[in-house]
């Protein structure tokens, strides 16, 4: 796979290194001269100097044949522009953008730049996973499909605890897809009894989180 990466910060540099180690062809674009020269000492021909928001720079990097473009600069506007040009100008099938400021997430969504990666969101999800009081953890947002996958730990006082899957009144637009119990996961059947302490994975339409929490994560 040929990948063009815009942005030679720690994220872009490490990503390029890992992809190259896995046998992929990579071109990393960095616009800061000093940073470029530092990266060139290691990556050599796999890094180019220039501003990835300029079409001639992207074309010099061979974006026309890229299968994936990753925009991880420190500027959200640049990341949006790079992904838009990749999709609309060069018909690149897959792009990934970094969100530096979580407040700009709506702008990425509005301009249909997806998928996106936010370090703040990732850390928040780790905190949610480690702190039981959060109750429900967002594992995956499928924006194009308008679906979410969440994980929720079943509390003893929850209405779903001790009941068969078939007897749980799930909100319309939601479905239990997996149960994690004692370190092992399985796909539940209609007669599977949900137990307190189970970690239940649910796929759902956005906006149904409160209903899922009310079924599985009620505090006594």
Please give the residue range of the domain that contains residue 157.
Answer: 131-216
Same domain, 33 and 140: no
pLDDT digits (tens, 9 = 90+) for 38-87: 999 999 899 999 999 999 999 999 999 999 999 999 899 999 999 999 99
Cα angle 55-64-112, degrees, rounded to a multiple of 5 = 70
> Does residue 151 belong to any structural domain of this protein?
yes
Same domain, 104 and 34: yes
> Does residue 125 belong to any structural domain of this protein?
no
> Does residue 47 belong to any structural domain of this protein?
yes
* Contact of 125 with 101, CB cutoff 8 Å: no
Give the predicted TM-score (pTM) of the model: 0.63
CB-CB neighbours of 166 under 10 Å? 10
Q: How far is the C-alpha of 56 from the C-alpha of 104, rounded, in Å? A: 27
* Contact of 89 with 66, CB cutoff 8 Å: no
Split into its structural domains, the chain has a count of 2
Q: How far is the C-alpha of 95 from the C-alpha of 18, rounded, in Å? A: 18
């Amino acid at each position: 796979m040929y990948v063009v990466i815009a942005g030679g910060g720690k994220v872009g540099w490490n990503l390029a290194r890992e992809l190259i180690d896995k046998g992929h062809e990579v071109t990393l674009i960095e616009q800061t001269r000093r940073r470029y020269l530092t990266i060139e000492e290691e990556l050599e021909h796999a890094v180019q100097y220039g501003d990835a928001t300029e079409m001639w720079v992207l074309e010099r990097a061979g974006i026309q044949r890229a299968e994936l473009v990753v925009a991880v600069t420190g500027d959200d506007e640049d990341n949006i522009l790079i992904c838009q040009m990749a999709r609309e100008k060069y018909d690149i099938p897959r792009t990934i953008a970094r969100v530096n400021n979580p407040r700009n997430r709506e702008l990425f969504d509005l301009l249909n730049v997806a998928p996106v990666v936010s370090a703040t969101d990732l850390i928040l999800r780790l905190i949610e996973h480690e702190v039981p009081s959060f109750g429900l953890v967002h594992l995956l947002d499928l924006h194009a499909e308008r679906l979410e996958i969440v994980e929720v730990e079943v509390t003893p006082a929850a209405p779903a605890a001790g009941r068969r899957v078939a007897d749980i009144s799930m909100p319309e637009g939601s479905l239990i897809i997996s149960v994690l119990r004692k370190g092992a996961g399985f796909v539940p059947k209609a007669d599977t009894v949900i137990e307190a302490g189970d970690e239940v994975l649910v796929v759902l339409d956005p906006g149904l989180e409160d209903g899922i929490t009310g079924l599985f994560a009620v505090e006594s």
